[in-house]
Structure 1
């Protein structure tokens, strides 16, 4: 345990992290006046009754005895801010009180409260040392030093009394340890819940960023190509320029709709999405959009039925791959091949014949990373790179789970 504390950068005798944070906040807390005054009143009144019951056996309560009682109780005001000095201070004051021969009574309550506060604050060894020192001092006074200490006619205490005191000490320490363990467990659970909440928030931000990237990258690429066509043909072929502007309007409208759908997920929890997430059933729309950008797309294979998450991932992977062809390839033709193989996986292959244009198409460079993240989230893989015979290939392998209810 001590080695673990040292590795975490704090000494073995120091409190755990939750106590350190609690202690820093504790400096701004109010003093525990009510409980301290209540304990002081109880100790003074109880000691008076104890003196009456033990008259003739122990020394009478005088001014010095009452000063010691008030001093022991007054130290409890600092038990939340400085638990270690307080537990040793109350133990020392109580030892002087007992050594002076004054009556046994609720003076031990001050040590019990100080010990409890120290253990709960994480200073276990200090509390044990203080209480053990008090018990040892009592044994020394009650069995050896009583001959030279008041009262003059005092005799040695019986050892059964020491066993009772030891039992009370053990009970107090055990209760304090239980409270300390419960607080540490609660703080640990709170930290784990906070960490899980931060992790979920990070994953949600990443998902939304990935969705926005895929939606905007594809639509802006189409708009960019059509804007170039419209500018080039504005004077020579107004009708073709008009068609390019119509495509721009359609692509921008669709992009706004998808962005709105993504942003709907940021609404209050419990609200249902306003539109279903896109899937491979919208593959013909991607083909049309690519055609409007001057890219001919051939689709081979049947579109499988997939769960919404896998269907969305497959759609976005094809969309991003076609967007990259429009941006970075000189080829005007691409192939999308869907292969279900043995029925357990879906292989998505998107090929173009190249060559790469080498021009800066204004991308963020996050497209391939986003595709890999989508595939990895489903337990699939992505391979992307140049083909041996020229061009570029994106190969995605996704787990295929056909919904039983749709068969």
Structure 2
């Protein structure tokens, strides 16, 4: 679920980024230019329709169809509403401006733009033109795409469609016969393309989220399996040591105590038997933790006493390493954790800064042990993001068990630094 949520967050972030880039690619002046162009066209059509319907300078045709003056008045446009005289030219021009000019703000306030357009269209239902009709469609599209609240946008569009359907019998402007097929087929093609693109985008997003989830689950399982194996080895070293000592001491006490009562000897025998039983249970539990076929993981874990051997291997691989090690008595778990810090840091240095001088410092500082590994690196980005970071995450988790901390990061002069601080008396 966490991986799926992360995938969704990533997809939403990409969507916002693409949206911002598209908005940057379409500057606001384009909407203003479109609004001015539509306003000019709608005004011109309104004035032309007004000249033709006022009858100024035109003589109506006689009943017999002849035209002795050479002039023939054009028919008045059909009012899609009720009969009677349509609105005046001034009203149509003003209303057309209210339908087309708000397109300049269609992305910033799509809801307000559509409401103004719709009310203006209702005011001149009989005097609208195809320009105002297209402008209203663009406003509805902008509300559906750029509306801040999708449910409010859809509800507004449905309410507007209901009002128009109940109030008018004819709402679409007349089109030339040759334009009718395009008016029908082009919107259908655009709608189908939009639906197909949306489906493909949703499918791709779901596939990316699923791949991300599987990758994270696989990485988590691998990290958990590896860490469980290491913990199993450390449990074997730490616990079996103490239990073995208990068994040996109990056996020695049983042999050396000659004057002890039988009850004491019986108690010591019980201690010895309990210790052996604990060892058997310990091996059984470790067998459950260790992956099948990896019994060699139960071998004793290395500590700082094997630091020289580790450094020798790294030097043999071509990495110049300088060591400054101050010996100090450490708890067994802290000793192993310190060794793991040096091992992981040298491995990273050998992988990402091969051949760069590397320094290892292990020293006590007050009540803690400080382990620091630095490499000079070839460039400040020598530890660029090619690794998964699982090793350093595992180290941080290991040190947290002992109350320690891990700090990693690039150095200002180039290279990388790994610094760990582990309490000598862990909680």
Question: Which TM-score band applies after superposition, normalised by the shorter structure?
Answer: 0.3 to 0.5
TM-score by length of 2: 0.37
TM-score (norm 1): 0.38
Larger Rg: 2
